[in-house]
Chains A and B, each alone.
Chain A
């Protein structure tokens, strides 16, 4: 009897490997749901209860995987940064030029535009760790953009100017359009509607002789 009971219990409990996979899957589901809710409601206005509903998990389950709402926000920003960084890394490895890297930057933002626009607008109000994660994202972009700029500069295609000002001019332009997207592309993606225009303008600004 006791043997039967033991066997029965063993059958009901998933193997440790499966449990681990399930845990990862649930964490993934919560994180994806969080990004959707942050994109829809704003980052600071969102609640963990709304994330749980979106993910289809119990509210308590959110805190099994993320120690706090702040931890969830930071994880969502880091996940976005990781995806963007990987995209740019692959491009940089292929020796892409400045325009191509900037296009990839816009494409990466486009994939999570609503989320990223909230991130840009709410950044000054976010917890310190979240702000740090945003700096880390900008670092990943500038890290992969730098070799492309140096190569274009060495080839005489773009003007000599401090890398920091060049980078901040680009980010400032993109972020301004994202923060005011209802003015520039009401009800639509500002990256879809104005991205090429911004890219053309920026390349024209940095190119020698204003070439595109």
Chain B
């Protein structure tokens, strides 16, 4: 089973992949409309917005948490 290199989500079905392309290493939620992977800045912003919306985190704390989580993922390894 693959896990998304950009957010860590398990990818178990074709719908989990961008454009249902199972050769991709990133998930549908980390892809742009054309199927390419979101940039670091785009992903950090969308992940922070998700943390604010679903867990009610402060915006600054959410962005810091998003970047810290991303640093643990292969696509963004080592980036701060």
* CB <8 Å contact, A142 and B9: no
Cβ-based interface call for B41 (8 A) = no
CB distance from B69 to the nearest CB of A (A): 5
Contact B56 A139 (CB under 8 A): no
Pick the most buried of A86, A89, A168: most chain B CB atoms within 10 A of its CB.
Answer: A89
With a cutoff of 8 Å between Cβ atoms, the chain B residues found around residue A135 in the complex are: 51, 55, 65, 68-69
Q: Which residues, 1 to 15 on B, are CB-close (under 8 Å) to A?
A: 1, 3, 8-10, 12-13
Q: Is the CB of A132 within 8 A of B65?
A: yes
Q: Are A146 and B10 in contact (CB under 8 A)?
A: no
Question: A132-B68, A136-B69, A143-B50 in contact; A86/B55 too (CB < 8 A)?
Answer: no
The answer, yes or no, to whether B45 is at the interface (CB within 8 Å) is: no
Q: Which B-chain residue is minimally distant from A145 (CB atoms)?
A: B54
Using Cβ atoms and an 8 Å threshold, which residues of chain B touch A93? Answer: 12-13
Contacting pair B56 A162 (CB below 8 A): yes
Rounded to whole angstroms, the CA-CA distance of A90 and B13 in the bound complex is 10
Asked whether B53 is an interface residue with its Cβ less than 8 Å from the other chain, the reply is: yes
Chain A 141-158 interface residues, beta-carbon cutoff 8 Å to B:
142-143, 146
Q: Count the A residues whose beta carbon is within 8 Å of the partner chain — how many?
A: 25
CA distance A86 to B1 in the complex (A): 10
**In this assembly, does B72 line the interface, its C-beta being within 8 Å of a C-beta of chain A?**
yes
Asked if residues A163 and B65 are in contact (CB atoms below 8 Å), the reply is no
Report if A85 contacts B (CB, 8 A). Answer: yes
Chain B neighbourhood of A129, CB < 8 A: 68, 72
B7, chain A: closest CB distance, angstroms: 9
A128 adjacent to chain B (CB < 8 Å)? yes
Asked whether B52 is an interface residue with its Cβ less than 8 Å from the other chain, the reply is: yes
Is the CB of A138 closer than 8 A to any CB of chain B? yes
What B residues does A168 contact at CB under 8 A? 55-56
Interface: A167 (CB within 8 A): yes
Contacts of B12 in A (CB 8 A): 89-90, 93
Contacts of B69 in A (CB 8 A): 132, 135-136, 139
* Complex alpha-carbon distance, A165 and B55, angstroms: 7
Q: Decide if A18 is an interface residue (CB 8 Å cutoff).
A: no
Query: Does A164 make an interface contact (CB < 8 A)?
Result: yes
Complexed CA–CA distance, A132 and B62 (Å): 11
Structural contact, A139 and B10, CB atoms closer than 8 A:
no
How far, in angstroms, from A133 to B73 measured CA to CA in the complex? 11
19 A-B pairs in the complex with CB atoms less than 8 angstroms apart: A85-B10, A86-B1, A86-B10, A89-B10, A89-B12, A93-B12, A128-B68, A129-B68, A129-B72, A132-B69, A132-B72, A135-B55, A135-B68, A139-B54, A139-B69, A142-B54, A143-B54, A164-B53, A168-B56
7 smallest beta-carbon distances between A and B, as pairs: A164-B56, A142-B54, A132-B68, A89-B10, A135-B65, A136-B69, A86-B10
